[in-house]
Amino acid sequence: MLNIALFGPPGAGKGTQSEFLIKKYNLFYISTGDLLRKEMKENTDLGKEAKNVIAAGGLVSDEIIVQIIEKTITDHPDSNGFLFDGFPRTYIQAYILEGLMIKLNTSLNCLINLDVPEKVSIDRLLNRGKTSGRSDDNEKVIRNRLSEYNEKTLPVLQFFKEREIYREVKGNQSIEKVQKDIQIIIQEELSKRLLNIVLFGYPGSGRGSQGKALAEKYNLEYVATGPMLDQEIKKNSPIGLKIKDLYDSGQLVPDEIVVQLIEKKLENSRNIKGFIFKGFPRTLVQSYILDGLLKKHGTAKSQIIEIEVPTLELINRLDARSKTDRCMPYDTSTSKIVKRLQEHETKTVPVIAKYNQIHGVIKINGEGSFDEVFEKLSYEVENGFRNMR
> Please, which residues have CB within 8 angstroms of residue 271's CB and are 6 or more apart in sequence?
219
From CA 296, how far away is CA 388, in angstroms rounded?
Answer: 20
pLDDT score, position 349: 96
Give the mean pLDDT of 25-33.
90
> Please, which residues have CB within 8 angstroms of residue 291's CB and are 6 or more apart in sequence?
105, 300, 301
From CA 266, how far away is CA 289, in angstroms rounded?
Answer: 13
* Residue scoring higher pLDDT (159 or 78): 159
pLDDT score, position 268: 87
pLDDT digits over 155-185, tens only? 899 999 999 999 999 999 999 999 999 999 9
Q: 10 Å Cβ neighbour count for 266?
A: 18
Calculate the alpha carbon distances from 199 to 79, 282, 288, 301 in Å. Answer: 24, 11, 16, 11
Report the percentage of the chain scoring pLDDT > 90.
57
Give the mean pLDDT of 69-81.
86
pLDDT band at residue 41 under the 50/70/90 scheme: very high
Most confident of 78-82, 138-142, 276-280, 333-337: 276-280
Contact 100, 65 (CB under 8 A): no
Contact 218, 196 (CB under 8 A): no
Q: Which CATH class is domain 195-388?
A: alpha beta
Identify the helix (H) or strand (E) that includes residue 337. helix 334-343
Give the mean pLDDT of 38-54.
90
In this prediction the pTM is 0.58
**Chain region(s) in the chain for CATH 3.40.50.300:** 2-191, 195-388
> Please, which residues have CB within 8 angstroms of residue 187's CB and are 6 or more apart in sequence?
none
pLDDT score, position 240: 92
Calculate the alpha carbon distances from 140 to 124, 133, 143, 145, 151 in Å. Answer: 14, 16, 5, 9, 17
Most confident of 59-63, 303-307, 335-339: 303-307
Say if residue 280's pLDDT is above 70.
Answer: yes
Say if residue 140's pLDDT is above 90.
Answer: no
What's the whole-number average pLDDT of the chain? 90
* Residue scoring higher pLDDT (335 or 351): 351
Say if residue 135's pLDDT is above 70.
Answer: no
CA dihedral sign, ordered 159, 161, 275, 356: positive
Give the mean pLDDT of 305-314.
96
Identify the helix (H) or strand (E) that includes residue 122. helix 118-132
Three-class SS of residue 87? Answer: coil
Give the mean pLDDT of 351-374.
94
pLDDT score, position 304: 96
Say if residue 331's pLDDT is above 80.
Answer: no
pLDDT score, position 88: 92
Say if residue 305's pLDDT is above 90.
Answer: yes
CATH 3.40.50.2300 corresponds to the domain 2-191: no
pLDDT score, position 133: 65
pLDDT score, position 10: 86
Q: 10 Å Cβ neighbour count for 212?
A: 16
**β-pair partners for 107:** none
